[in-house]
Each structure stands twice: as structure tokens, then as C-alpha cells.
Amino acid sequence: MTRLAYFDAFSGVSGDMTIGAFLDLGMPLTVLEKGLAPLKLDQVTLEVGHRVRSGIRAVKFSVHAPEIHDHPHGGEPGHHHHAHGHRSYRDIRGLLKKSALTPRVRERAEKIFHVLAIAEARIHAMPVDDVGFHEVGAIDAIVDIVGAAICLEHFAVDRIHASPLPLGSGMTRSQHGVIPVPAPATVEILRGFATRLEDGAAELVTPTGAAIIAALGVPAPPPPLAPIASGYGAGDREMPDRPNLLRVILADVVESTPGGGGPAEGDLERDEMVVLEANVDDMNPELFEAAMEALFDAGARDVSLSPVTMKRGRPGTLVRVIAEPQGRDSLSRILLRETSTIGIRSYPVSRLLLPRQMRTISTRYGAIAVKVVQVPDGGERITPEYADCHRAGREHGVPVAAVYEETLREAWNSAG
């Protein structure tokens, strides 16, 4: 069964509203605090309060730390932001990689920050690693992003869908001065997602909220759902035309084939991707490794190299990249920079995917993430994550294959 979180963002979305909605759904605050502990954010405290908007009771989530002060920012007025200095994407990525977060939480948090970094790099025309996040890099935003990943893992959410997002209107103040609403980063982040321009008289979607949806969500309408529960997260601002709330609906995808069995066509996950292709026939083959590494670091879902015969019988290489639509331009620039091609083809593709989820398995070599896929005959296919196995093998001085086999055995034992 595929578990889905639907973000009904009739008043927009922000990081703190997202956490508030999951707390209202029943996420224990103690579990959230324990999950954030590996970040070692000294003297940070989490506050949970309540608001009533249009008769609807919601949870208001806030972060407090000595170096954070009240600094209203767009759709998150009253949410606290870092008062001094900046954090680069390189710094934040290092913080997450060195932490003892669970593999799935770390993966999702890294992906959200990556989406933010790509957008900021585009806007400011600078290298991704050097992007300074200002408010986005503040402790409270780190808590919001990692906290959202923890909540999704707690509720075993496989994917996110969202309603069309109201982007608001007007002007707001940022570290760079007065900027239009929606913020430039928000527009970049939400490429490919349904939005409503000039809906609302203020900033309703923040870059952090947009990145959570863009990094982990699917830019398509949800399938038929069986709701399980709903939760409401509150922002501080009172709005005259709508309650300032984010509703998150936890639901299971409705099985189209009664009586169980494997996934039918109506139960397959769907997403929209873009394919980038370039033919290369005049490049040192040793350089492809660096190109592939740069593409994966920039968010490519897959990169493949295929031998081809080009004009005049010349042997060449077809470089094919599969990526999310919003990553097309940044990945194209990398292809043009890292290879000798002078042109790139791109076209949209639709994918049908088997239902899947990530689990964490305890082994004698530590915690290893596994991917569990439901196959058409009703069974499951379990695949340990190679990166985790490789890391554990190095740490314990054993072959990667030994970690892989141990993880697979423990995964099947825990599945019964």
C-alpha cells in the first residue's frame, strides 16, 4: 500500500506550517526532538502552541535559539531567523553528511537543500556550493527541513502531492533589499508545479515550503485516495480572505484491484521527468567520470553512457540524463561545461513506477537503508542501498558484499 501526504495549501506553505500540520496529525514532539538530536544544535528549543482560525484548531510550531531573533519573512511572519552571518550550501551539506541522521531522513533533507541551492545559484549566477542561504541557512530552517523529513519517515510517507499553490502578490523585504512576491527563489523552485499567480495579498509560499514540495513531491494530480487523518499547521499572520493554515491529509492510494495482489496499472506511481541527450565524439573518455559526478551532484536522477556510431562512421558516446523538469536548465549547463558537446536535446517523458518505500534495517554493521518494491505478482523485492553498504564496509573493514548479504538477510527476517 502506498502512503501519501497531500498538502492542501489553500493559504500557501512554509517550513513551520509543515511541521505544525504533522504535529497536529499526531507526530509526538519527543520523537521530533530525538530525531533532530544528531544535528547537535546547541540550546535550540522547540515550541508548540495552538491557534484557532475560522473555527479550526491548528498547531503553531516555532524554533528558539540564542542567536535567532524574530524576523518576519514573507509567509512565515514571526518565525525566527538567523541573526548573524551566512551558511553556504557546502557547509549545510557537510553538517548533514556528518550527522547521525537516519539514511532516509538525511537523503530527503539533502534533497530539499539541494533544490534551494540550485534556485539561488541560478538567480545570483554563482557556483552552487558557494550559495549563501541567509535566512534559509538559519538554524530554524535547518530544523524545519530536517524535521519535515523526520515527520515523513515517522508516518511512512512514500511521496507528496500538493494542491495548486497560491503565490500571493506585492513586495517583501529580504537580505538583498525589496523583492517582488513571489520571491525569485520560490518561482525557480516551483518550475513544473501548478501555481496560482496573484492569489493573495502577501507572500504565501516561502522558499523553504516550496522546496519541501518540489524536492519530495510529484508535479501531478494525486491518484484516488483513502484519507486516514488530517492535520493543520498555522502561520502567524491573520488573513482577511482565508484561514492562514496548511492542511496535510495523510492517505493511502486506493487499490484499483479488489482482493489484493500486485499493483495494477491504476496503482502504479506516475511522475513527469525530462530527458537530456548529447552526442560526443571528440572528448577524452577519462573526462566522462567528472561529468557524471557533476550531474549527479546537481540532482540528476540517472546518467548513462552508450556507444553510438556518428557521421563518417566515427565512434561516439551518447550521454543521456534523466531529471526532474525544474533541473533541466542547470543540468544542461553542466553538460555544456563538462563535455565537448555544443548542443543538447531535451524532451519530456512520463514514467510508471512500482510502489516502493524506504526502510532502515539494523545490522551488526549499523543501520542500512533498503528499498522495498511491490512487484506485480504481489510479492516484494528488497534492495539494500549500496552507498550505506559501502560506508559500513569501510568502517568495519569487511567486504561490501558481506554487508549487502547481511542486510538482505535481516530485511527478509524482519519482513516475516
Q: Which amino acid is at 291?
A: A
Distance set, CA 380 to CA 216, 221, 261, 373 (Å): 23, 27, 11, 5
264 located within any domain = no
Q: What are residue 18's phi and psi, to 5 degrees? A: -65, -50
- Read off the pLDDT of residues 284-327 as tens digits, 9 standing for 90 and up: 999 999 999 999 888 899 999 999 998 888 899 999 999 988 88
- Read off the pLDDT of residues 343-374 as tens digits, 9 standing for 90 and up: 999 998 888 888 888 888 889 998 898 988 88
| 154/238 same-domain check | yes
Q: What are residue 66's phi and psi, to 5 degrees? A: -55, -35
Overall residue count recorded for the chain in this entry: 416
324 located within any domain = yes
Distance CA 110, CA 117 (A): 10
405 located within any domain = yes
What is the DSSP annotation of 53-67? ETTEEEEEEEEE-TT
Q: What is the CATH number of the domain that holds 341?
A: 3.30.70.1380
- Can the peptide bond before residue 182 be classed as cis, meaning omega within 30 degrees of 0? yes
Sign of CA dihedral 206, 298, 38, 358: positive
342 located within any domain = yes
| 149/31 same-domain check | yes
| 188/318 same-domain check | no
What pLDDT is attached to residue 70?
43
Q: Which of 353, 368, 385 is the last residue of a domain?
A: 353
- Read off the pLDDT of residues 10-42 as tens digits, 9 standing for 90 and up: 999 999 999 999 999 999 999 999 999 999 887
259 located within any domain = no
Tell me which H or E stretch contains 121. helix 103-124
Query: In this structure, how many other beta carbons lie within 10 angstroms of the beta carbon of residue 340?
Result: 13
| 71/44 same-domain check | yes
| 384/302 same-domain check | no
Within 8 A by CB and 6+ apart from 268, the residues are 352, 353, 354, 355
| 241/184 same-domain check | yes
Distance CA 388, CA 105 (A): 13
Distance CA 78, CA 35 (A): 24
| 276/366 same-domain check | no
Pull the grid cell for residue 13: 506553505
What pLDDT is attached to residue 236?
86
Distance set, CA 203 to CA 39, 165, 200 (Å): 30, 11, 8
| 59/179 same-domain check | yes
Q: Which of 253, 284, 318 is the last residue of a domain?
A: 253
| 285/379 same-domain check | no
DSSP-assigned beta bridge partners for residue 248: 7, 231
| 158/222 same-domain check | yes
Q: Name the domain count of the chain.
A: 3
| 156/208 same-domain check | yes
Domain extent for 118: 3-253
Q: Which of 353, 378, 399 is the last residue of a domain?
A: 353
Which has the minimum average pLDDT: 60-74, 82-96, 155-169, 213-227? 60-74
- The closest alpha carbon to 144, from 65, 62, 83, belongs to 62
| 247/301 same-domain check | no
Percent residues over pLDDT 70 in the chain: 89
Which has the minimum average pLDDT: 144-158, 173-187, 202-216? 173-187
